[in-house]
Amino acid sequence: MPADAADVTGILRETSLLRSVSAEDLTALAAASRLRSFRRGQVVFTRSDPGDTVIVVVSGRIKVTVRSADGGELTLAIIHPGGLLGELGVVDGGPRSADAETLEESQLLLIPRDAVRDICTRVPSAAQTLMNSIAATLRHLTEATADLVFLDLPRRVAKILLSQPRGDDGVMRFRMSQEELAHQAGSTRQSVNAALRGFERRGWIEMHDRAVIVKQPDALSRFAGVPAG
């Protein structure tokens, strides 16, 4: 069933970017925005497409990737519900800098870039939140680049597993194929499988089809050299 204006306004209000915006502005944004459904594996946008919308992930998960000329793929980020895509275009008006594709059936809210820019011009708190979001993305990419250079593959895989949000039961579940995990770790499926099997032998994780359950996050954290979450 298509969402009505009240539904869209509620979605906008829940985003960190627009939480402080007035009801009047939210209503105007809702009227200008589009709610779209995507199938699993559907392309949301590709590199060099016009960056004319900011996208809110309402449900599902989106992977943001870059690809080499020979077909190699590196996953830069996985965007979960409540996350945003396309903030950079609000600042510089440029095209998309990467590809985005759904990992599962997803619902996305597309907000016109110019409307978000207008809000940020008039509402300082929204502009600050936008800058914070872009800064967080830059910090994430800087850390990921350092990991690719300085960490071996098993520790990169461990950090990716530990980056997953906990479920309602407090358990970390990584719901992605080993090939997709390899794209995120910058390696091959075979090498990632070997790393996961090593973790499983130690009792740190359990593997079930396309899901990895983290059983001992503290041990995995010590191995990866990151603070326990």
Q: Look up the CATH number of the domain holding residue 109.
A: 2.60.120.10
Residue 48, pLDDT score: 94
Query: For 81-108, what is the mean pLDDT?
Result: 93
Query: For 110-121, what is the mean pLDDT?
Result: 94
Poorest-confidence range of 11-15, 105-109, 187-191?
11-15
- Based on the fold, state whether residues 162 and 118 are members of the same structural domain: no
- Based on the fold, state whether residues 118 and 178 are members of the same structural domain: no
Residue 1, pLDDT score: 36
- Based on the fold, state whether residues 90 and 162 are members of the same structural domain: no
- Based on the fold, state whether residues 73 and 143 are members of the same structural domain: yes
Number of domains in the chain: 2
Q: Looking at the predicted structure, is the pLDDT value of residue 147 above 50?
A: yes
- Based on the fold, state whether residues 166 and 143 are members of the same structural domain: no
- Based on the fold, state whether residues 64 and 161 are members of the same structural domain: no
Residue 196, pLDDT score: 96
- Based on the fold, state whether residues 41 and 88 are members of the same structural domain: yes
- Based on the fold, state whether residues 122 and 55 are members of the same structural domain: yes
* Structure confidence at residue 157 as a pLDDT band (50, 70, 90): very high
Query: For 103-113, what is the mean pLDDT?
Result: 95
CATH number for position 165: 1.10.10.10
- Based on the fold, state whether residues 42 and 128 are members of the same structural domain: yes
**Which of 128, 148, 168 is the endpoint of a domain?**
148
Residue 6, pLDDT score: 58
Query: For 93-106, what is the mean pLDDT?
Result: 94
Query: For 171-179, what is the mean pLDDT?
Result: 86
* Structure confidence at residue 228 as a pLDDT band (50, 70, 90): low
Residue 2, pLDDT score: 42
Residue 170, pLDDT score: 79
Output the six-digit token pair for 15: 């985003």
Q: Which residues form the domain of 201?
A: 151-224
Poorest-confidence range of 149-158, 185-194, 201-210?
201-210
What are the pLDDT digits (tens) for 21-52? 999 999 999 999 999 999 999 999 999 999 99
**Which of 121, 148, 175 is the endpoint of a domain?**
148
How far from 86 is each of 44, 95, 113, 117, CA to CA, in Å?
11, 9, 8, 12
Interacting residues of 127 by C-beta distance below 8 A, sequence separation 6+: 120, 121
Residue 43 lies in a domain: yes
* Structure confidence at residue 226 as a pLDDT band (50, 70, 90): confident
Query: For 149-159, what is the mean pLDDT?
Result: 95
What are the pLDDT digits (tens) for 59-92? 999 999 999 888 889 999 999 998 999 999 999 9
